[in-house]
């Protein structure tokens, strides 16, 4: 006797959900590209933490180059397969953002933070000694009720030529403007990371200004030459203030 036709098996609901999610990601490339970029930033930040104390040209960032080239080559060779080509492209995006983030977080070799604010060895206290710095204010000072913060383009440290920037925190009533050449005496410290919930994250603000160290309490502060640089920025600031004063 012929067998009765068997009823089709029901597809599990989770399989339908996974298929729907995969199809939506395939049609929305910016979603998974953004996710891969975010994951790459996290990997790069963790790598920079592991390489703490190394300069950006000392860290083994070039090890990521073969993986990046292999991922792009895989995406090109398998371009006829939508899933495999996107897998290679996703790995390439992750690798690129990981390397870029790690390089962005690590200071240059001759930066002032490498000279005066290098992290101490394990089980040893951080040695802090005042340094006399001369430099130019490299951006508009950020004023608040408590202090005035700005990046300082360092020219000399204790009379010797130096390079790099330091995140300076002065008193709130300091009459400082962008482009002023100033002299200050303070100690150079590694960037402070917040430890209390809700505390404002100033670490990333300083990193965004290309500062890998910060100043302690200012022992001395004097303006040597006001307005020696950044003249265009000073004019823009003057126009802005005149418009706000109307």
1 within domain boundaries: no
The mean per-residue pLDDT over the stretch 40-61 comes to 82
Q: Could you tell me the residue range of the domain that residue 173 belongs to?
A: 113-118+128-245
Instruction: Indicate whether 101 and 155 sit together in one domain.
Output: no
Instruction: Indicate whether 241 and 132 sit together in one domain.
Output: yes
Instruction: Indicate whether 168 and 236 sit together in one domain.
Output: yes
pLDDT the model gives residue 11: 45
The mean per-residue pLDDT over the stretch 63-79 comes to 76
13 within domain boundaries: no
Q: What is the pLDDT of residues 137-179, one digit of tens each?
A: 999 999 888 889 999 999 999 989 999 999 999 988 888 999 9
The mean per-residue pLDDT over the stretch 17-36 comes to 65
Q: What is the pLDDT of residues 112-139, one digit of tens each?
A: 888 775 555 555 555 567 899 999 999 9
Name the domain boundary from 105, 140, 173.
105
pLDDT the model gives residue 14: 45
6 within domain boundaries: no
180 within domain boundaries: yes
**Average pLDDT along the chain:** 80
How many domains would you assign to the chain?
2
Instruction: Indicate whether 135 and 80 sit together in one domain.
Output: no
Instruction: Indicate whether 148 and 225 sit together in one domain.
Output: yes
pLDDT the model gives residue 75: 73
Model pTM score = 0.71
Tokens 């390397």 correspond to 99
């Amino acid at each position: 006797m012929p067998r009765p036709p068997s009823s089709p098996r029901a597809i599990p609901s989770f399989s339908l959900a996974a298929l729907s999610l995969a199809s939506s990601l395939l049609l929305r490339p910016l979603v998974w590209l953004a996710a891969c970029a975010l994951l790459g930033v996290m990997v790069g930040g963790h790598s920079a933490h592991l390489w703490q104390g190394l300069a950006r040209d000392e860290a083994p960032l070039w090890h990521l180059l073969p993986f990046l080239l292999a991922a792009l080559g895989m995406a090109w060779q398998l371009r006829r397969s939508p899933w495999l080509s996107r897998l290679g492209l996703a790995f390439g995006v992750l690798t690129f953002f990981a390397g870029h983030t790690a390089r962005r977080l690590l200071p240059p070799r001759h930066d002032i933070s490498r000279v005066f604010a290098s992290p101490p060895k394990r089980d040893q206290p951080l040695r802090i000694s005042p340094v006399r710095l001369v430099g130019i204010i490299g951006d508009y000072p950020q004023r608040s009720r408590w202090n005035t913060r700005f990046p300082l383009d360092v020219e000399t440290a204790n009379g010797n030529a130096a390079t790099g920037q330091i995140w300076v925190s002065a008193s709130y009533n300091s009459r400082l403007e962008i482009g002023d050449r100033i002299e200050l005496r303070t100690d150079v410290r590694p960037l402070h990371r917040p430890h209390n919930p809700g505390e404002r994250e100033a670490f990333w603000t300083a990193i965004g200004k290309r500062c890998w160290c910060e100043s302690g309490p200012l022992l001395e502060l004097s303006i040597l030459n006001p307005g020696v640089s950044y003249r265009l920025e000073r004019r823009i600031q003057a126009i802005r203030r005149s418009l706000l004063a109307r």
